[in-house]
Amino acid sequence: MRAVQITRFGGPEVLDIVDVPEPEAGPGQKVYDVSTAGVNYADTHQIENSYLAAQQLPLVPGAEFVGTPVGGGQRVVGLLDGGGYAEKVAANDVLTWPVPDGVSDEQALSLVLQGTTAWHLLRTSAHLAEGESVVVIAGAGGVGSLAVQLARRWGAGRVIATASSPEKRELAESLGAHATVDPALADGDPKAFTGALREANGGKPVDIVLEMTGGNVFAGSLSALAPFGRLVAYGMAARTETKAVPPGALMQRSRAVIGFWLAHCMARPQMLDAAMTDLLQQVADGQLHPVIGGRYPLSEVRRAHEDLLARRTTGKLVLDPAR
């Protein structure tokens, strides 16, 4: 079968289309014909070997798919520990969910990693309470565009999104953000970014920040927190590790810094079941609107990664393994 494989670490240039053996089902698994594969920002870390878990070569990237069992059956969306950029995958039964007829492949794929991340960032990590202010870093991205909508649905008092272009800021506002901020303000001075976040919140510190950049954005976001505020870190898009936060800096304002990695939910499938059941129903009912960023042929996987790294995209990117 055709698949994308890497045999060396690096950027998009290491993504090669090759023929590999078809997967075989292990205990509790089925083999699926893939109709659509999802692309995530974490995949760009995986192929660099700069992700939270060390990678082994050779590898086929990709952590999510939509497909049907070989021989026929119910269309499902599934979560994988790799191998998704391919025509067929072997997936664990406990990490697949039936896709309702009214939900597209792209919509379903926007939920399985990015949607469940947004859901747990707000519910499990930040414990959003009604009336609290929420800052969503990269509010036009895959996770951010869903987090903006969920925060509004779950009663946030004010939602502030950051986005790197006027078009992306307009999109975030159309999804429900009360105000938007340009993250470029953090490039030279974290204090300027802190000031912009507080200004967007009516001059007051903020309660929750969902942060996936690191570096100055992390520092500026932390300084913007109100007493008992929570910063949830779930990415390092800037490719720079943030300096340690002294305990005294947290105690002075009773602030919290919380880390989140969806991989830990895979060991507790009930956490994913709760999020996916809720999210799929919201999409089917027309209450949640995933932003679809583009469908690329499998043969153009390098371009998909290039566009993602260059911040030319919004919402969910997917691959078509038949092209």
The model carries a pTM of 0.91
Place of tokens 């991989």: 263
What secondary structure, in 3-state letters, does 137-158 show? CCCCCHHHHHHHHHHHHCCCCE
pLDDT digits (tens, 9 = 90+) for 18-59: 999 999 999 999 999 999 999 998 899 999 998 777 899 999
pLDDT of residue 246: 86
Residue with tokens 């993250």: 183
Q: What is the mean pLDDT of residues 47-76?
A: 93
User: Where do the CATH 3.40.50.720 domains begin and end in the chain?
Assistant: 130-259
Q: What is the mean pLDDT of residues 128-145?
A: 96
2-113+269-320 belongs to CATH 3.90.180.10: yes
Does the pLDDT value for residue 288 go beyond 80? yes
DSSP one-letter string for 4-44:
EEBSS-SSGGG-EEEE-PPP---TTEEEEEEEEEEE-HHHH
Instruction: Say what percent of the chain tops pLDDT 70.
Output: 100
Q: Structure tokens of 212?
A: 């996936």
Higher-confidence position of 274 and 186? 274
- Residue pLDDT, tens place only, 96-115: 999 999 999 999 999 999 99
Q: Which CATH number fits domain 130-259: 3.40.50.300, 3.20.20.80, 3.40.50.720, 3.30.450.20?
A: 3.40.50.720
pLDDT digits (tens, 9 = 90+) for 191-247: 999 999 999 999 999 999 999 999 999 999 999 999 999 999 998 777 777 777 889
What is the rounded average pLDDT for all residues in the chain? 95
Instruction: Output the pLDDT for position 129.
Output: 98
